[in-house]
Amino acid sequence: MQDSVRKDSGESMKTSQTPKSSWQNTHKLATAVSAFFAAAIIPGAAVLFSAAPPAPPGNGGGNPNQPSPAQRDNENNNNQNPADRNAADRNNMNANQGNQANRDRPANAIESTKLEFQTWTKIKGQNLYTKTDDKDLGNIEDALISRGTGRIDYLVVKTGATLGMGGKQVLVPYDQISLKTGERHEFRSDTTQDQLKGMTEFSEKSWKDRNNAGGEKEPLHQTLSRQPANERQDPYANNINTNEKAQTIEGKVTDVSRRNINGMEQVVITVQDNAGKKQEVNLGPSWFAATGDASPQRGQQVTVHTLKTRDGNAMLVATSVSYGQGKDVRYREDTGKAAWTDNNSKTVGPSRYFTANELVGKDVDTQDGRLGTVEHLIVECNSGEVAFVSIDPDRNFLGIGDTKRLVPFEIVTFQPNGHIGLDATKEMVLASRQTPKNLEDLRSDELRSQVFKSFDIQPQTFIARERSEWK
């Protein structure tokens, strides 16, 4: 966290009556006289007075010939290349505390006092209304959530028979939904009743069959295979140096972070090689890099094949990673072309989604064994992101009983056995804060920071949902 810097107003600066040069001359004379008498009494004591003069009054402390902390911050920011500045955005935002400068927050970051947290069990069953004329569109029955980002892309809404749809379930994009707060918290949509009739139908059968042979022809599959064009881009596409020899790193993953790079949430791992050197490697967007069975976790032994960037950025980009046990993931071709940039079902299809209903009640595995079940998903409604999962540890585990613990969704992975995996130990989970009975407590920056600190990761910043053009 950056130190807060007090900026003196021009008016206060004018009240300083001692010019800087005159003050320094006075200081030099006083120092010389003091040194003369001190040396006569204590030999060698003159060195005590040879230090540089303190800052003159009104300078706020420090050497007047040195840049202020704010100036140094600006110089550091200016010296960063654009990719690094964008990558640092999320970490700067995540450090947002009361004394952090406003300049570190992007314009679309949601203020803590405006965060709206609700459990999924509370959201489910609520009515969805039209924004303009308060007409009832139906009941919220489920949500389709990106495995990587925790972002809700669609709500599953069950329509009423009065709309002439026979009570069908349809997908309503979350980008068209807002939360009205006040005495009654209500979800509202730009969608009209007539538009609702043309939205993609959702059923349990179509959901189960979405990846089966021939399923790509079904409307649900086609809808879920679409993405905003920017999510298919690679921020390093035009900056990869394929002329240099590819670098292979063997070692242990010491950190897994999610960073906003050029407006896209990217997964970056830190690998410590066998010689002890650490290297950051960009894998790709979190919806792609954190959705497979081989999601990166701290402590894993990996072999990473990488390419460098043309601008000499210290971060490498991964072409492939071997996670052991035959789990090899291809992120980019050797030419540097990203595996997720093609709009096909293999990379951007329905497999990247899970439903809110199916996650509640799932068994939880930590790095060192099983630990209870998922009791709640906690959603920040304005951003439409799953912020936390509330874990119910095994009864009588170390005497914990039914104490529920908050776990950031960022460390959640999806295991082949159907369980939820956590990139954390049991000790980390049990050291986390209890799930508050009143979720308004989660507006506290301090409380949220303590939760993330328990898992040794940066706090999450919530970005206001913007409308996206789906192609």
Prediction pTM value: 0.71
pLDDT confidence tier of residue 19, bands split at 50, 70 and 90: very low
Contact call for residues 253 and 299 (beta carbons, < 8 A): yes
Give the per-residue pLDDT at 315. Answer: 87
How far are the Cα atoms of 1, 4, 67, 68, 69 from residue 73, in angstroms, in the given order?
12, 11, 10, 9, 6
CATH superfamily of 358-454: PRC-barrel domain (2.30.30.240)
Contact of 380 with 124, CB cutoff 8 Å: no
Fold match between domain 117-230 and domain 358-454: yes
CA 190 to chain centre: 27
SS3 of 427, please?
helix
Asked if the 117-230 domain carries CATH number 2.40.30.200, the reply is no
More confident residue, 383 or 22: 383
Q: What is the mean pLDDT of residues 84-108?
A: 42
3-class DSSP state of 259: strand
Percent of the chain with pLDDT over 70: 68
Binned at pLDDT 50, 70 and 90, residue 134 comes out as confident
Proportion of the chain above pLDDT 90, given as a percent: 38
pLDDT, one tens digit per residue, over 174-223 is 999 988 876 667 899 988 888 888 899 999 888 888 777 666 678 888 88
SS3 sequence of 171-224: EEEHHHEEEECCCCCEEEECCCHHHHCCCCEECHHHHHCCCCCCHHHCHHHHHH
What is residue 324's predicted lDDT score, i.e. its pLDDT? 81
The amino acid occupying position 383 is S
In the chain, domain spans: 1-15+65-107, 17-57, 117-230, 232-342, 358-454
What's the per-residue H, E or C state across 260-300? EECCEEEEEEEEEECCCCEEEEEEEEHHHHCCCCCCCCCCC
- The H or E element containing residue 302 is strand 301-309
CATH architecture of 232-342: Beta Barrel (2.40)
| Residues 6+ positions from 222 with CB-CB distance below 8 Å | 216
**Average pLDDT of the chain to the nearest whole number:** 75
Give the model's confidence band at 161: pLDDT under 50 very low, under 70 low, under 90 confident, else very high.
Answer: low
pLDDT in tens, 28-47: 444 443 444 444 444 443 33
